[in-house]
Chains A and B, each alone.
Chain A
Amino acid sequence: MLVFEQARQGRVNNAQSVKKDNMINVIPDKFKRNKRPLLPEISEMQAVRHYTRLSQKNFSIDTHFYPLGSCTMKYNPRACNQLSMLPGLLNRHPATPDSSSQGFLACMYDLQEILKDVTGMYEVSLAPMAGAQGEFAGVAMIRAYHDAQNGGKGDPDRNEILVPDAAHGTNPATAVMCNYKVKEIPTNSDGDVDIEALKAAVGPQTAGIMLTNPSTLGVFERKIKEIAGIVHDAGGLLYYDGANLNAILGKVKPGDMGFDVIHMNLHKTFSTPHGGGGPGAGPVGVSKRLEPYLPVPMVVENSGEYHVVTEKSRPQTIGRLSTFMGNAGILLRAYIYARLLGREGMHRVAEYATLNANYMLHSMQKSGFEIAYPNRRATHEFIVTLKKQAKDLGVNTMDFAKRLLDYGFHAPTTYFPLLVPECLLIEPTETETKQELDDFMAAMVEIQKEAENEPETVTTAPHTLPVRRLDDVRAAKELDLTWKG
């Protein structure tokens, strides 16, 4: 039942506010609202019960194994939430003078320093509010850099960004937002970028390349130094999509691979909450030549005092991307997480995420599942392809995914990357126990048996959730986006 259907006209919550008499009101009638908005008139308890019940209809990391590939659904430590919501931090207005904000600014400065260290980049800005905004900042900096060449006359012929065909959809969408043409680079059969195709594609029109390493295929791009050389020699810059940073944290630094600019997804690698689809946080790190263009605000330290710097002292910046200071509360959570892990904890993240992924890859291979890149080492994630099941049994990847829900597991990422047919991209993360992985794989084996013996059980799944499969065509055709009573 919708919250509106539980309402009764005239029900008010006096604990929250009381209607006061004799209020000053200088607003002329022509500016006034004359009809109340449709907000539910329910008691506080009704609201608490309604939304608690709704929450119980969700799968989440706290309740279920959630091996969503390329999303790094690892445990979100409760301490990060509690400590980031201490009153002094929670009630700080963004316009508070620096002199009254030294505690908060110290956390931001320290986080910048930590992220510089783990990425090997020259400088970091925490400004972008999500991965996609970090990408935007990155490509905007590449454009600003090229525009500043030739004594400020720019390099207008550099109008193309290269994107491997395995990339996230955000990469080409971002390049277009920065007014670049997109050229796709094919991937070879081992999952590496096709070097010959890359050599043929670069030229004086190349502004840069956007790469994810490890790639979305769950493998490490072995020829990364060669790729960096090819693109740099052509005058282009290298952009690192940090979606998969969890796989190499503390083991390899993107700066050492030759990248000029990177964004990190703190909601992945630094375990800030995914919140049902956000907020994220997408700090960017750059090499020395891109430093002047970093988005503002940033935090600097001067003899023990912290200050916010803006456009005023950074004239070449690509500017601000948010009203205030990005998703500050999320940055605090990432900072607390980083301090809990510490220096010695960072590389363990990559090690155990990789161990879990490779253990699953080999176990599933032994159970008869087809691995997309069987000759490669998995990174923190790997791909199973169910194209045989789809062809021979009429049970496809979506069916397996939906049936997994019945077994109490969130499905892995389905049908992405687009290169591999009928694929499941599986990312277990380092925080899962071997037992949980074994249970998930046992469920996959059970579903395989069902697919062989009683396929309709799988093709009509899920059977035990609050709803069965939804009519998405109707949802898009007969748009019902608001309740109308």
Chain B
Amino acid sequence: MPFIPHTEEEVKEMLDTIGVKSIEDLFDEIPEALRCEGLTKVPEGLTEFEIGRVMRERADQDAYRLCFAGGGAYEHHVPAAVWEITTRGEFYSAYTPYQAEASQGTLQLLYEYQTMMASLTGMDVSNASLYDGASSLAEAVLMAVRANRKSKTKRILMPRTVHPNYRKVAYNIVHNQGITLEELDYDATSGVIDLNSLPAEPGDFAALVIPQPNYFGSLEEVDALTDWAHKHGALVIAVVNPMSLAMLKPPGEWGAGNYSASDSDVVGADITCGEGQPLGIPLSSGGPYFGFMCCRQAYVRQMPGRIIGRTVDLDGKEGFSLTLQAREQHIRRSKATSNICTNQGLLVTAATIYMAVVGPQGIENTAEQSHNNTQLLMAELEKIEGVQRVFNTPNFHEAVFKFDLPLDDVIRSLAAHGIVAGIRLEEDYPELGNCLMVCATETKSEADIKTFTQTLETTLSLLQSAASPVQPKTA
């Protein structure tokens, strides 16, 4: 019996203590008619060796791809120490640190994590994580509506340059509460929000969401956008890639703050959120990752999720505990800031160890090399006939290219060569038909980039010659 340690003799002793004859008797309060007949679709049990073989066969089927896709999940090197320590049983199999005295390891680590994230984003405080990037934006939207005391509105200005799935998730989670997300288009040439397109009569928005880098990898005019929002009484929700912050201005410093016509000239985003995956979390088919959220001190009581505080014990000795729990569902029930219960503790454990192992120099090197490699890839792609770069603004480590030949065929052929070509944008951006978004992090060597571009060239010429003699390509 897998994972059940009872011997027959023990079972008998236990039943005697209870005063019943069989284990079956313990289910006598369940109405007979409800008892199930047995399972049919669950296969028979396997030994560890047998399931090991099944899993290895399946894993090998999907292994050894050369991946140039990003789109919110990025392949970075993860130091061996990170998951060796993270999967220690004391981290892996502990629960939410309700008994603080028996959870000081997790609690101190989370306090260190909060410090690192606040510093990386340039914000005052951080929570101990949310589910993932998309759901962190949904929570940030809810929080902004609660926190913006100047305006009673439930309208949020949501640029189309925010990750399409983040926008969908935010809508799915908040729309039942009467919150509306109003789209803000981007400039077709630059691929960033057009400052001239910001509403002239802005009306009443609880917040403006600003992605940096945006979904296309391009850099938004974050200072001007932040000032615009604050001038019009809207909060700023920054959505950022934490890896990029090793190079880019942190949201806490966005904006000049020197605009007029406002009672409080403030610098910086009010809430910062995003996907923590680049910090030591493997791609793993999209999860588990972790969402992060940081904010101004003034809004900390509106922030959802676990928050850890440093305090002292009876002897005055330093210690750590869950704090501000009065915001949470297990205390406030229907009046809680969110229904959120778990965070992504294990992933935050990995991210904290990651940041400690690589340090400020390591994260900077990784970001710079990812930026560099993407520029190299872009230069190679621009040499290929039938492939054009779409946006002309500076970018971090992703870029968009338009193909003359049908993109689905290109992606399929490259997949057959073991290459994940990138992300197809058409489904979410109909105006970007036949456009592919690529990314080359520090894990892609010059040789990898050559493999990609050479395979692509071969593929394109094969597709071209297959297409042209029979039927000349139209548009």
Contacts and interface: CB of A to CB of B under 8 A. Distances in A.
Contact of A74 (B3, B169, B341, B343): B3
Interface stretch (A171-179, A195-203, A449-457): A171-179
Interface string A127-144: 001111101100010010
B458 interface: no
A240 interface: no
A11 to B, nearest CB: 7
A361 B14 CA distance: 11
Given A320-B169, A344-B44, A355-B6, A179 B176 contact: yes
B42 to A, nearest CB: 4
A471 interface: yes
A95 B41 contact: no
A445 interface: no
Contacts of A172: 329, 333-334
B371 interface: yes
A60 B94 contact: yes
A88 B92 contact: no
B199 interface: no
Contact of B364 (A36, A66, A170): A36
A88 B62 contact: yes
A276 B97 contact: yes
A348 B1 contact: yes
B406 interface: no
Contacts of A470: 100-101, 311-313, 319-321
Interface in B158-180: 163, 165-166, 168-169, 171-173, 176-178
Interface string A106-123: 110000011011101000
Interface in A306-330: 311-312, 318-330
A62 B90 contact: yes
B270 interface: no
Nearest to B9: A434
Interface in A83-109: 83-97, 99-104, 106-107
B6 A352 contact: yes
Given A97-B415, A323-B275, A79 B105 contact: no
A140 B176 contact: yes
B104 A466 contact: yes
A89 B51 contact: no
A278 interface: yes
Contacts of A41: 359-361
A225 B92 CA distance: 39
Contact of B341 (A120, A130, A482): A130
* Interface-centre pick from B20, B309, B338 (highest chain A CB count, 10 A): B309
The listed residue with most A CB atoms (<10 A of its CB), out of B48, B57, B320, is B48
Nearest to B341: A132
A117 B40 contact: yes
Contacts of A62: 89-90, 92-93
Contacts of A132: 329, 339-342
Given A91-B65, A276-B103, A479-B309, 9 more contacts: A23-B371, A27-B247, A42-B359, A60-B94, A92-B285, A129-B288, A170-B330, A467-B104, A481-B308
B455 interface: no
A225 to B, nearest CB: 7
A9 to B, nearest CB: 10
B239 to A, nearest CB: 11
B183 to A, nearest CB: 16
A366 to B, nearest CB: 8
A292 to B, nearest CB: 15
Contacts of B150: none
Interface stretch (B111-119, B226-234, B260-268, B382-390): B111-119
Nearest to A317: B172
A273 interface: yes
A189 interface: no
Interface in A207-245: 219-220, 222, 224-225
B29 A481 contact: no
B240 to A, nearest CB: 11
Contacts of B115: 4, 38, 482-483
24 contacts: A26-B395, A37-B363, A54-B108, A55-B105, A93-B420, A130-B342, A140-B172, A222-B29, A224-B31, A225-B34, A252-B34, A274-B94, A278-B345, A278-B346, A279-B290, A279-B346, A326-B287, A339-B45, A343-B39, A377-B28, A465-B102, A467-B100, A472-B311, A483-B115
A286 B99 CA distance: 36
A57 B318 CA distance: 14
